[in-house]
Structure formats: C-alpha cells, structure tokens
Amino acid sequence: MKKTHFSEWGIESPRYWGILAVLGAIIAIAGVAVFYMEHSGHWVTGMTNQVVWGLPHVFAIFLIVAASGALNVASIGTAFDKKVYQPLGRLSALLAIALLAGGLAVLVLDLGQPGRLLIAMTHYNFKSIFAWNIYLYTGFFAIVAAYIWFMMDHRMKAWYKPTGIFAFVWRLLLTTGTGSIFGFLVARQGYDAAILAPMFVIMSFAYGLAAYLLVLMFVFKVDGREIGGVLLRRMKNLLGVFVAAVLYFTLVYHLANLYGTENHAYEAFILRDGGIYTLLFWGGWVLVGCLIPLGIIYHPGMGATRGGIIAASTLVILGGLATVYVIVIGGQVFPMAMFPGKTIVASGFFDGVNGQPMLYSPSLPEILLGVGGVAVVLLLTFIGIRMLRFLPTTLSDEVADPHYSKS
C-alpha cells in the first residue's frame, strides 16, 4: 500500500462554474419558494392542522439522517482502524457536514417563525428532544470540522483517533436523537416505539453510504481519478449489509406492532388499505429501497459493475425518501385513537371521521424547498473539494488496498 496523496478537485473551470451555476439556480428557486411560503403563510402549502409536518420535513429528516451515515466511512477508518477506508475519510466528513447543513436549512426555513431562530438558540426546554438536537447538530458541525482538521494536519495526528472515535459516538447519539423525535411521541399510533431510534441509526448507515458512493463516484469520474475495484466492492458489500439491516428493522417494527391488537388498525392502514402510503411502503420502502438494491448488490454480474453500484445507491436513496415519507406523513394521516371502541361519525375538526385518514398532498413550493436542500448539500461539497485537499489523487487498488500485490 502506497502513501495516499490528496489534491483539490481539478475539473476545468467552466465545468466547475457551470455545476455551481446550476446548483445556485436551484437554490435560488428554492429561495423564492421559501419567501413565498413565509410571506403568505403556510396556507399556500399542503400542510394543515392535521398534517403539520409536510414534505420539507421528509427531505430535512432524510438529509439529517444521511449526514450522520455519511460520516461512517471516516469512522470505519478511524474508530475501527480499517486502513483501506482512511483515504476516504476527508470526503466522508465533508459530505456529512454538507448533508447536515442542507437538512437543517430545509428544517429551519419551514418553521412558522424562521426569524426566531435566535430564540431557539437562547431558550431551552431540556425535556424536549428537539432542544437536545440543537446541541447535537451544532456539536456535530464543530466535532466533524475538528476531525477534518486533524485528518488534514499531520501536526495534529495525536488527536486524529480520539476525535474520530468521539465523532462516531456523537453521530450515533445524533441519529438516536432524530429517531427519538418520533419515538417519544406517545400520541400517535405509528410512532411511540423505542425501535424507531435504532431503526433511524441503521437507516442512516444505508442512506449515508449510498449518498457517499454516488458523490465519490461522480467527483472521481469527472476528474478522471481512479477508484479501484477492491474499495468499491468493499463499500458495495457494506451497503448490502446496511440495507438488509434496514429491512430487518422494518420487519421487527411491523411484527411488534402486529402482535398488539391496539395497533392492528394502523398496520392495516400502512400495509394494506392506505392507498398512496401502502404503495410507498411496499413499492418504495421495501421494493425500491431494499429488495432491488439487495438483488443488484449480491447479483454476481451486476454487483460487480459500476453501473450496478450506482443503480443500487440511487435506489437506496429513492427508497429512503419513500421510507421517511411513510414514517412522517403516514404516521400523521392515520387518525389518532382518542376514543377506543368508538367510531367518530362527525367532527368539526377533521378527526378521522369513520376512520378515514387525513388528506395531504405536497405543494410545489414544498417540493422546491426540499430539492433546494439537496442542492445546498452538493454545492457545499463541490466548493469544499475544489478549495481544499479532500480527494485522494487516486484510489486504485495499488494505492488503496493493503493486500495489493502485483500478480
């Protein structure tokens, strides 16, 4: 294994600026959508007093969950001493920061009072997991920034490993905190389950790695850098394990729910009668997000190709968005069980009359805000790799594989 050298993203200027311009335009359009929503009020969105968190939350939560997962690649190198992953660490940490920034931007811009962010920073209720998350998120930025510094600066080498381990523990706490936003909600049938916290952790492993793989392969490809088969194969297999784990948690979550009669109505809604939510569960969460990627990854032919890995990662991300949609929106549209043993036959406030679910359809500004968050992630990442030495000059087997031998 040779010493790894790092260099800035070296694509030609017009191409670099072109990419930035496109992303900038998407962000500008999202900015207009935010201004429109905040200026008019949330009545211009599809959100209501029944479905209070809409599509922006789906994007925000997905990006925040993926952020902590993207850091895993660095953690495997540092906390678990896998040398082959160490050259990948810098980009992993940068992408983690960018994903968190994009997710938080979407979350904050969907607040009813985004101008009161300062209040959120100065008034805390420590019984709220949201308040804890403010610390977990800002702490993540600081810790991962220091982690990047210690990765890049050899004088700080002594700090590299402790910081890496600390960042790994912090990211586990962070995703536990994000999962607990739902896990701690006793009011709603679809939430109020402790398993949601570890499930979010495992979801983050899968989504973060899928996002990392796509970004890595794209930035290397356009810059003419080489990624060897050994690394790709390792990461692909790891993605397979993570996706299988998501499937396992999904199974346990629903089986546990199915055991208790009180949750049968909710399970029937998600698994069988929920229309778009049932479709997104089986078609998006299970098929696109888990089964097809697993089929591709472990297929002897397709799994070995770059196209196969790109397809699997893309599907994991699309399936992941469907998963978060089913959890966030599906959990809200299902009527709350306020009167067990009774059916609400009329209500002045849409309480799920005759067990009917609440209505929600995302509006265009909400979609634009969510997509804008993704553009922020890519913009920050591309600027970062252009400015500083985040990318190894090559990840060919000769350089990356510790067991490489010329045959």
DSSP 200: H
Evaluate whether 190 touches 165 at the Cβ level (below 8 Å).
no
Q: Name 341's Cβ contacts closer than 8 Å, sequence gap at least 6.
A: none
DSSP 50: S
336 in contact with other proteins (CB under 8 A)? yes
* Residue 135 CB coordination number (10 Å): 14
332 in contact with other proteins (CB under 8 A)? yes
- Position 329, amino acid: I
Smallest distance, Å, CB 183 to other proteins?
12
Of 68-76, 83-91, 137-145, 179-187, which part binds other proteins (CB under 8 A)? 179-187
Cα separation, 135 vs 141, in Å, equals 10
- The nearer residue to other proteins, 37 or 288, going by C-beta atoms, is 37
Using CB under 8 A, which of 310, 344, 383, 388 touches other proteins?
Answer: 344
Q: Name 330's Cβ contacts closer than 8 Å, sequence gap at least 6.
A: 190, 269, 270, 274, 277, 280, 281
Helix or strand (DSSP H, E) at 19: helix 13-40
- Strand positions, DSSP E, 79-136: none
Q: Show the binding pattern over residues 244-283: x = contacts other proteins (CB under 8 A), - = does not.
A: ----------------------------------------
Smallest distance, Å, CB 127 to other proteins?
5
Smallest distance, Å, CB 9 to other proteins?
37
Q: Show the binding pattern over residues 30-69: x = contacts other proteins (CB under 8 A), - = does not.
A: --------x-xxxx--xxxxx-xx----------------
- The nearer residue to other proteins, 158 or 346, going by C-beta atoms, is 346
Q: What angle do CA 116, 117, 119 make, to 5 degrees?
A: 70
111 in contact with other proteins (CB under 8 A)? yes
Of 108-116, 222-230, 250-258, 266-274, which part binds other proteins (CB under 8 A)? 108-116
Give the CA diameter of the chain. Answer: 77
Site for other proteins, rule CB under 8 A: 38, 40-43, 46-50, 52-53, 111-114, 116-117, 119-120, 123-125, 127-131, 133-134, 181, 184-188, 332, 336, 338-339, 341-351, 358-359
